[in-house]
Amino acid sequence: MKLKKQVTVCGAAIFCVAVFSLYLMLDRVQHDPTRHQSGGNFPRSQISVLQNRIEQLEQLLEENHEIISHIKDSVLELTAHAEGPPVLPHHKPNGSWVLPPESCPSFLSVSPQDCQFALGGKGQSPDLQMLAVYSLLPFDNQDGGVWKQGFDITYEPSEWDTEPLQVFVVPHSHNDPGWIKTFDKYYYDQTQHILNSMVLKMQEDPRRRFIWSEISFFSKWWDNISSQKRAAVRRLVGNGQLEMVTGGWVMPDEANSHYFAMIDQLIEGHQWLEKNIGVMPRSGWAVDPFGHSSTMPYLLKRSNLTGMLIQRVHYAIKKHFAATQNLEFMWRQTWDPDTSTDIFCHMMPFYSYDVPHTCGPDPKICCQFDFKRLPGGRINCPWKVPPRAITDANVAERAQLLLDQYRKKSKLYRSKVLLVPLGDDFRYDKPQEWDAQFLNYQRIFDFLNSRPNLHVQAQFGTLSDYFDALYKKVGIVPGMKLPGFPVLSGDFFSYADREDHYWTGYYTSRPFYKSLDRVLEAHLRGAEILYSLALAHTRRAGADSRYPLSDYALLTNARRNLGLFQHHDAITGTAKEAVAVDYGVRLLHSLNNLKRVIINAAHYLVLGDKDTYHHDPAAPFLGPVGAAGLGHPSLCDPAHRFLVVFNPLEQERLSVVPVLVDSPHVRVLSEEGQPLPSQLSARWSSATDTVPDVYQVSVLARLPALGLRVLQLHKSLDGHTMLKSSVRLYLHGRDLPVRKQEVVPMHVFPAAADDFCLENQHLHACFSGRSGLLQSIRRAGEEREQRVSSEFLVYGTRTSKDKSGAYLFLPDGEAKPYAPKDPPVVRVTEGPLFSEVASYYQHVQTVVRLYNVPGVEGLSLDLSCLVDIRDHINKELALHLNAEAAAAGQLLPHARHGLHPGCTEPPDTAHSPGPGGLQPQQR
């Protein structure tokens, strides 16, 4: 600090001298006797002298600017080096590690006043709060008659005498971008034919309407059609016959998807539509996601959509909302104190979105108006009453039968405007179906509309046609709050379509792919940031011709593959095995491409002299390295390597950066050559075996916001800055061989351990010596411990036809304790930067890590599990955490986390069909 002050004073003195000299020169010019001429007339020679002196003065000013700039840089450099080597962690007499206080905070505390939600919401309370609704319902599943999950609906024929019923029949085709078939297989077998027929059949009658949702399919089709067909599509969109609803790359799952990815696929679809068709979606359409999150209405509202439709909601909620005419509502965020997040939502009332469950409450009747099921076709009606083609002879009877269903359905809503979807999965894939549906329905519409005594106006429409008519009834602009409709907050999880069939198994099905999704998402964000920064630099320097601009195509492809995986049969894990593998290959391919983008951008950005930049794909300047990567840097030749670390967050962070090396004799230095705190640990291949000649070095580094940091790895026998972790291995009486690494201290104990604890400056965590599992947590400054019991449980599945699977969680009763044949091996690692407890059971290994660093990483425990239950059939393993709040004497809600075999198996390995999940709450 003394040197820092001296340098600062010296620099300030030089600056003052420079300014004073400049002042004297100016004063000399002002008092030059040659300037005082009578009448202000200057001789030509003296004007020349004055011009020379002005030029000299300008030159002196530039020189002074350069001097001051050099002084400033020197002061900064000297102060950076004058701080001396960092203070390293050290041992206390009791054996625990202590970190020095950090020079600047790694995180800021948040005041309750900074968060509107913490204030409890000062705005108007919603009419419907879903937690309250759930608590009111008996979930008794009574038989409702023809509408099995509902009730009988009656009406008076005169109800529409003063205000006719307005019916919008909305043809649609739900195209899953992967499920039973892969994305490409579906496209070539069905989707391309649907869209090709759509262009032809819609132009035959301007009264026809159609909606489309999945832009992933639409863009693929667009790339393979002629310019004439593209122009026809634009005309259909322009005149309102074809509507693009939601406009996302897919119809995303709303339970497993991260909101970053949900936004990303929405942006990708919207930008494609705006670029190629010149339209932006107005209404949202979500008929197949397995439950609905309150995140989706928020994203749609912020994307300027004014209305939305949902379908898969617990049948008891549908029945309750139908009975109270609350199936349409303004959906508001729970934290919103006003109406800024409100969006109008229509909930479909019946079992499914197929034709038998959309025209009215009786599927036996509605199925008779699905004209794809006409006799002679490939599908028929399960209720054994087939449809009949509409003729002059039967149109009156057929129209009256259908109108009865329309009227009954309209009684569930508050308005005299009715929405009737007309479609199903991959419908309209043949021209014959287009003709059958549109021609027969048009004959019915013509009959109904020509009979004023029926008081109905029926027509084909789009989703926005329906919403516009609804808004027109009350005379307000679409998007504003509709008077007379309730305000709802909350979400619609968990979903059950019948009995106790809760769709909660998919929360954890195929966890390996769910994890890969998050990895790709993180790499995509990092790659986009680095590519943008590098491109901006190269353009400003006029060097963009030397930069691989083709990387943008890799980014686009990765965004689209990530978007595709948000589909409600992809990230959910509910597709067939071959389809899941296809998704996995796409994700892995994009992950490798993103690493190339990151390497290319980091290469350019870390160079001090950008003129030396040269892109050579055959010889990349940087290579990917990670703690879990396939490779690790060799320190043999050359004697040192450079590690480039990128922080994709917009906040500076103090983090532990892990890297694998092939030598324990390593020093990690900063860019300035200062040693950084580092912890040396063994690399384990099993509970008792270390990997030979591979070590993990964990470096404590402060990473700039959205910035790169270069670390130096030096091979050195001087290990003053390399702090080694120590290991205690408890074998619990098992006779197991142990492979040690000499440089990492290890103590092997044949018997079980007593209970033990780990601690840092924020937390004190205690573990069972026998199981290695967490028992209690105490925060710094608190006297009371919070008991946290944790145990592994096993669920079976029912012996009936319906079992737990990719979708459902149907256990055979209460979970039973997991009973492995051998006690676990418990390994305790303690070090200056982190400590951890690893427990190895027969089918699962757990690691609980506690970081001993300032900032957010040290505020919590990191828990991970690796599972392999391939030798179990129809069994599910769950980790049960039960936390008791000692202060209040209350039992906090427990959580069961499903653990599944997909973590450890290759894509082509069969696994147990029971994926498990969170236990549904039976209310």
Whether 764 contacts 859, CB under 8 Å:
no
| C-beta of residue 492 within 8 angstroms of C-beta of residue 292 | yes
> Could you tell me how many residues make up the chain?
923
Q: What is the dihedral of CA 385, 386, 392, 396, to 10 degrees?
A: 40
Cα–Cα distance, 496 to 670 (Å, whole number): 55
CA angle 853, 858, 864 (to 5 degrees): 120
Name the phi and psi angles at 236, rounded to 5. -65, -40
- CB-CB contact of 827 with 838 (8 Å): yes
**Beta-bridge mates of residue 422:** 171
Phi, psi of 257 (to 5 degrees): -70, 140
Residue 507: closest CA among 815, 922, 919: 919
Supply the angle between the helices 395-410 and 431-449 in degrees, to the nearest 10.
80
List, in order, residues 6 or more apart from 780 with CB less than 8 Å away.
761, 762, 763, 764
Q: Rounded distance, CA 833 to CA 628, Å?
A: 18
- Positions annotated as catalytic residues are 288
Q: How far is CA 307 from the centre of its chain?
A: 23
Q: Give the residue among 509, 570, 477 at the shortest CA–CA distance from 183.
A: 570
CB 677 within 8 A of CB 876: no
> 471-497 burial string, b = 16+ CB within 10 Å, else e?
beeeeeebbeebeebebbbbbbbbbbb
Q: How far, in Å, CA of 594 to CA of 77, rounded?
A: 35
Residues 485, 329: Cα–Cα separation, whole Å: 5
Where residue 351 falls (left for φ over 0; alpha for ψ -120 to 50; beta otherwise) is alpha
Q: Name the phi and psi angles at 295, rounded to 5.
A: -65, -40
Characterise 542 by phi-psi region: left (phi > 0), alpha (psi -120 to 50), beta (else).
left
Contacts of 293 (CB under 8 A, 6+ apart): 254, 255, 491, 492, 493
For tokens 């309730």, what's the residue? Answer: 486
DSSP secondary structure string for all residues of 720-746? TTEEEPEEEEE-TT-----B--TTS-E
Taking the C-alpha atoms of residue 285 and residue 297, their distance in angstroms, rounded to an integer, is: 11
Burial of residue 787 (CB within 10 Å: 0-12, 13-18, 19+) is middle
Distance CA 389, CA 609 (A): 77
Compute the half-sphere exposure of residue 830: CA atoms within 13 Å on the CB side of its CA: 15
Strands (E), 282-397: 283-286, 307-310, 328-331, 343-347
Task: Identify which of 315, 322, 321, 407 has the alpha carbon closest to the alpha carbon of residue 365.
Answer: 407
